[in-house]
Chain A
Amino acid sequence: MPTDLDTLAREKLSQVLRDHPDPAGLDLGEDLVETYGITSLNKVLFLTSLCKAAEVGLGNFTEDDLAGMRTLGDVVDALRPHAPLKG
């Protein structure tokens, strides 16, 4: 069980991507759409899964927030203030 948000986010993103790449190899700064080809439907699935695993309420976020989460780092930064996990 991962204990930090960064690791958890990488794992959940890997699960959404078709080929399930090595989570450690995912770059926090890369664009989720342009680099990882994530679709709108997959992006919300990723956020939903991550919030559930990190025990963060989805209600903390709006569609505008979601649109602003362009990289994995953006997602982690957005969740961090609401997460009980360290990282």
Chain B
Amino acid sequence: MTASIINRIIAERPAHDGSLTVTGLGHRTTLPLAEFHDRARSVAAALSRRGVGAGDRIGILSANRLEWVLLDVAALMLGAQTAGFEPGKFSPDAELVAGYALDALYTDVRLPGDAPSRVLPISAVTGYAEEDADGFEPVQWAATQCTTVKFTSGSTGVPKGLEATAGSIDSSLHAVQSLFEHGPGDDVLTFLPLSLLQQRYWLYSALHWGHDITITTYQSVFAVLPAVRPTVVMGVPAFFDTAKRHIEGVIAGGVEPAKAAAELFGDRIRYLWTGSAPADPATLRFYDEAGLAIFEGYGLNETCITTKNHPGAHREGSVGRVLPGKEVIIDDEGVVCVRSDHPVNTAYTYAAPGDSESVFRPGGIVRTGDLGRLDEDGFLYILGRSDDVIVLDNAKKIIVRPIETRFRDTGAVAECVVYCPSPAGLVAVVSPHPGPVDTAVIDEALAAVNAASERDERIIRVIVADEPFTVEGGLLTSQFKPIRKRIADRYRDRIDNPKAGIHAH
């Protein structure tokens, strides 16, 4: 691998014209990345004066804002780790500070009266940025040192904590740049929580390669998109599905597809980035036909980005070819295993006993749990989660994801999760679209899904959730993936009740 990007961006003040914009409903701040670098250095010096240094851990529990990224880059300069906590899922209390060995915690949450002294308002960082950098010199990271703790959007219970190595971050940044060649003229828009390390990659990329970056929130993203006029938007399938429905409405009003898409996304899109969950093929086709290139990829927190479609190598239905520095091995059970030249890590830092051993294997290999296949040209196709495989009493394995996708793709429901509570057959819990539930439409969709399924894959009952699955309601991850176990817990009575729900005819 070539030189460390992390070490370069913290050591060298940018000499390019790239800028950072932080925006949302009712506010917009733009500053040159060179000035951002100066401010981050001042924050690092201020933290140092307050006793935070190399090896310490700084927690950040906040919505996306300028202070978030100032703290992140300042921590890199200090040699301190960050731990980004997703807003709404954690409280800034003594338990969090002790549980994750935080030396400081900065938050935008109103502080409880008994908040530990190490918990501080993130607004204080604005003042730090005005202080004198006082000759502060950034440290340098070894490739195996961990710059941050990231938390998996796990399917069960407490999120698992995973420390990420500087080498893995450098490797991913180099690989992505080799595919997309971001540079001056590009503006990458990011709106998912900055607690997700991959969102911060775009800032590191901008600092290094001199493109612009715009940070907003998911509450504001659709309001600011047309004015920002980004060239790249990173989203998840649920985001692109929502945008598609909106654009279709505009098209129905007589507007040309390309114009309707540009009204929402702006008129400078070079490509759209989707990942984190399987995209609906119809959505991908929609954007392609509207003139917006969209590329799906694949990776887990434990592997970082592993494969990606891109302008130079794109195959429909696949999640792309393997990135430089990665190797995909399909094991004897059909499970996708990923070997990295620079692994994210070799174990979780925070997890239940046995979790690390089930995922991390010797030699920098991660067993993803996803079932997949590689075609003759090296494109990867994800067939389902092995965790989501139901083994029937006839020993037949049912991969539920294709069934769930089939149901979702009927358009009758927003999401579908399939369970097998008894030998009688599969039961689906579906998330309805907003608005009144149309039972007849779901009934028709059920018939269509079953008609397209193997005998053992047929759904015998459908439970319509009381309300759409949402992140806020705890049934979707921050990346809009259904949380299988929680949905099962919530609807257990009806899943197990053979009389409940809509029955297949």
Known: A37-B467, A65-B25. A47 touches B433 (CB 8 A): no
A65, B27: Cα distance in complex, Å: 12
Q: Are B222 and A18 in contact (CB under 8 A)?
A: no
Contact indicator per residue, chain A 36-80, by CB within 8 Å of chain B (1) or not (0):
111111111101110000000011111101110000000000000
B468 within 8 A of A: yes
A21 within 8 A of B: yes
A60, B175: Cα distance in complex, Å: 42
B221 within 8 A of A: yes
**Smallest CB–CB gap between B413 and chain A, Å?**
10
Q: Are B26 and A62 in contact (CB under 8 A)?
A: yes
Closest to B471 in A: A40
Known: A41-B239, A59-B26. A66 touches B434 (CB 8 A): no
B2 within 8 A of A: no
A60, B242: Cα distance in complex, Å: 24
B470 within 8 A of A: yes
Interface residues of A in 5-34 (CB under 8 A from B): 15-19, 21, 34
Closest to A14 in B: B435
Interface residue count for A (Cβ, 8 Å)?
29
B246 within 8 A of A: yes
Contact segment of B212-220, B265-273, B372-380 = B212-220
Known: A39-B470, A42-B242, A48-B223. A66 touches B435 (CB 8 A): no
Q: Are A60 and B26 in contact (CB under 8 A)?
A: yes
A61, B218: Cα distance in complex, Å: 15
Q: Are B435 and A63 in contact (CB under 8 A)?
A: no
Known: A18-B435, A19-B436, A21-B436. A40 touches B25 (CB 8 A): no
**Smallest CB–CB gap between A31 and chain B, Å?**
11
Contacts of A36 in B (CB 8 A): 434-435
Q: Are A63 and B25 in contact (CB under 8 A)?
A: yes
Known: A39-B470, A45-B246. A17 touches B26 (CB 8 A): no
Q: Are B26 and A38 in contact (CB under 8 A)?
A: no
**Smallest CB–CB gap between A11 and chain B, Å?**
11
**Smallest CB–CB gap between A43 and chain B, Å?**
8
Contacts of B217 in A (CB 8 A): 63
B193 within 8 A of A: no
Contacts of B470 in A (CB 8 A): 39
Counting contact residues on chain B (CB < 8 A from A), the size range is: 20 to 34
A58, B217: Cα distance in complex, Å: 15
Q: Are A47 and B223 in contact (CB under 8 A)?
A: yes
Known: A34-B467, A62-B25. A17 touches B222 (CB 8 A): no
Q: Are B434 and A61 in contact (CB under 8 A)?
A: no
Interface residues of B in 403-445 (CB under 8 A from A): 432-436, 438
Q: Are A17 and B246 in contact (CB under 8 A)?
A: no
Contact indicator per residue, chain B 296-332, by CB within 8 Å of chain A (1) or not (0):
0000000000000000000000000000000000000
Q: Specify the main secondary structure of chain B where it touches its partner.
A: loop
Known: A39-B468, A58-B25, A63-B24. A15 touches B433 (CB 8 A): no
Contacts of B334 in A (CB 8 A): none
Closest to B263 in A: A52
Q: Are A39 and B242 in contact (CB under 8 A)?
A: yes
B154 within 8 A of A: no
Interface residues of B in 446-505 (CB under 8 A from A): 467-468, 470-472
Q: Are A45 and B436 in contact (CB under 8 A)?
A: no
Query: Which among B26, B218, B435, B468 is the interface contact of A21 at CB below 8 angstroms?
Result: B435
Closest to B191 in A: A41
Closest to B433 in A: A18
B127 within 8 A of A: no
Q: Are A66 and B219 in contact (CB under 8 A)?
A: yes
B185 within 8 A of A: no
Known: A60-B26, A62-B25. A37 touches B434 (CB 8 A): yes
Contacts of A17 in B (CB 8 A): 434-435
Q: Are B222 and A15 in contact (CB under 8 A)?
A: no
Q: Are B220 and A19 in contact (CB under 8 A)?
A: no
Query: Which among B25, B242, B246 is the interface contact of A66 at CB below 8 angstroms?
Result: B25
Q: Are B467 and A41 in contact (CB under 8 A)?
A: no
**Smallest CB–CB gap between B252 and chain A, Å?**
9
**Smallest CB–CB gap between A8 and chain B, Å?**
14
B402 within 8 A of A: no
Closest to A19 in B: B435
Residue in B25, B221, B222, B471 with the greatest tally of chain A CB atoms within 10 Å: B25
Q: Are B26 and A41 in contact (CB under 8 A)?
A: no
Contact sample, A vs B, 11 pairs, CB 8 Å cutoff: A16-B246, A21-B435, A41-B239, A43-B219, A44-B220, A44-B223, A48-B222, A58-B25, A58-B26, A60-B26, A63-B220
Kindly list 18 other residue pairs between chains A and B, CB separation below 8 angstroms, not including A40-B471, A44-B222, A62-B27.
A16-B246, A17-B434, A21-B435, A21-B436, A34-B467, A36-B434, A37-B467, A39-B434, A39-B470, A41-B218, A41-B221, A41-B222, A42-B242, A44-B219, A44-B223, A58-B223, A60-B26, A66-B219
Q: In the A-B complex, list the 7 residue pairs whose CB atoms are closest, starting with the nearest.
A: A37-B434, A18-B433, A62-B26, A17-B435, A41-B242, A19-B435, A44-B222
Residues of A bordering B, CB below 8 Å: 15-19, 21, 34, 36-45, 47-49, 58-63, 65-67
Residues of B bordering A, CB below 8 Å: 24-27, 217-223, 238-239, 242, 245-246, 249, 432-436, 438, 467-468, 470-472
